[in-house]
Amino acid sequence: MNLPPGLSRSDFSSALGEFRVAVGKDWVLTDAEDLDGYCDEFGPYRGTPEERIPSAAVAPDTVEEVQKVVRVANSYRIPLWMISCGRNFGYGGGAPRLSGSVVLDLKRMNRIIELSEGNACALVEPGVSSFDLYREIRRRGLKLWMDGPSPAWASVVGSTLERGIGHSLLGDRWSNECGMEVVLANGDVVRTGMGGLPGTGTWQQYKWGFGPHIDGLFSQSNFGVVTKMGTWLMPEPENFLACFVDVPRSEDLIALIDILRPLRQSEVVRNAVNIRPVRRRPGDPPGESGGWRALLGFYGRNKSIDLLWEHVQGAYSAIPGVRFRSQHFSAPYDPETMDWQARWLSGIPSMSELSRWDHSSIFASQILPFSGEAAWNRIRVLDSVYREFGRRYQGGSINAHHPRALVALAGCPVSRDNPEANRNAVALMRRVLEVGAQHGWGPYREGTALMDEAMSACSFNDHALLRFLETLKDALDPNGILAAGKSGIWPQQLR
């Protein structure tokens, strides 16, 4: 049995007994076969001494049970690693940052507590997947749209807390968070925003509340266990245009982005635009022979969305060889008539990404200025870095979910049976983060294998940001039981 750091076998056995009292004996998992499901099956350390293996998993069903688990962990100083659905593949899956942690698995907390068509919002628990929410909207016949990640088994709460990106009008998921319930490390429960007012009718309608806005403290952090979260939806539009702008040459990326920037900032284009390499022939490397494609969505009445699309085509017509394509859909919508791109733009959850993305990868995604030259320069710089490691980089997916910045992805495949290649992949991604920091490209989010390196890049004023976060960690979680090492934030005893 793998033990939590610094805990004797007898004390751990006692703690497991108290966990069983808290959540029921069937929901405390210690068998190796059960715990294997909480390892990162797509990660670079799989099957090596560096693999992060949990000591147990505990699956509460209610916020009261979460409180009990947290209090037991505090009394024994057992590190907990919180997961929602545990499907964050490519970023660590359900595996803990610190080997020997007990996984606090929240997937049993899968209730959709509120779903309002009039206010276009929902209140959900962490175990609610995108599929779950979408199916409930459909079951009730509500005229609501959501943003659905692919793969759609991802948690609505988990994806939002990690600031995941979609492609619809709601693609900037963190911007659509509104109010949360959090269990703190001492077992206390706090509700943010308007949730601080008992009996409020605006918890999921008005996110700011009174006083300091603290929701961001629980995003990509280890300061609490989020047990409920509000998320904004959108009214179903009368019509929807799925539009595609294809440019033929790899260097056309510069104009593609520069023309898009004022369109996004003026809200002519409002969806979270995805730009990706186009492969014209099987086996073509990204960006070399196929150019780029931007996915745009327009939503509303026919006359208005047609005018917007006409305006966009006029703006892009200056690029030689540009091609346009659009697909028109009207309510009531039939997802079976949509291809995977239209489903993305309309926020329909799907598993389609699995057919195009090998989750056996490690990523280093970065924030760039909304500039074609910046994106193009990054490709050139990173290609030279990749060459140092015997690889090539011709560009990956770029997301314009924000009107003033871009998120650009870089990744490297992970092998199931080649530890040396995986060490090379980790070293490459560390170098990508290092070089990115030198160029001012900050980390967007990071998996468990690279969290320390990502935080280290935020080095202004002798790492003042990390020192501030460590101060908060020590105040809110003095025993360091919650998600040790998450985002590079370690408890005092492990620094």
Active site members: 91, 444-445
Classify residue 301 as exposed, middle or buried by CB count within 10 Å of its CB (0-12, 13-18, 19+). Answer: exposed
Q: Cβ contacts of residue 154 below 8 Å, gap of 6+?
A: 85, 87, 88, 129, 130, 164
Task: Please state, as a whole number, how many other Cβ atoms lie within 10 Å of the Cβ of residue 224.
Answer: 25
Cis peptide before 151 (omega within 30 of 0): yes
- Report the DSSP beta bridge partners of residue 323: 246
Neighbours of 73 (CB within 10 A): 25
d(Cα 244, Cα 283) in Å, to the nearest integer? 22
| Rounded Cα–Cα distance for residues 166 and 188 (Å) | 33
Report the half-sphere exposure of 47 (CA within 13 A, side-chain side).
10
Token digits for 185? 């490390």
Which is nearest to 398 in space by CA: 416, 374, 421, 420?
A: 374
- Token readout for 125 is 């628990």
Spatial distance between the Cα atoms of 491 and 495, rounded to a whole number of angstroms: 7
DSSP 126-175: TT-BHHHHHHHHHHHT--EE----SSTTSBHHHHHHTT-B-SSTT-BGGG
Contact 385, 434 (CB under 8 A): no
3-state secondary structure (DSSP) of residue 78? coil
| DSSP structure class, residue 236 | P
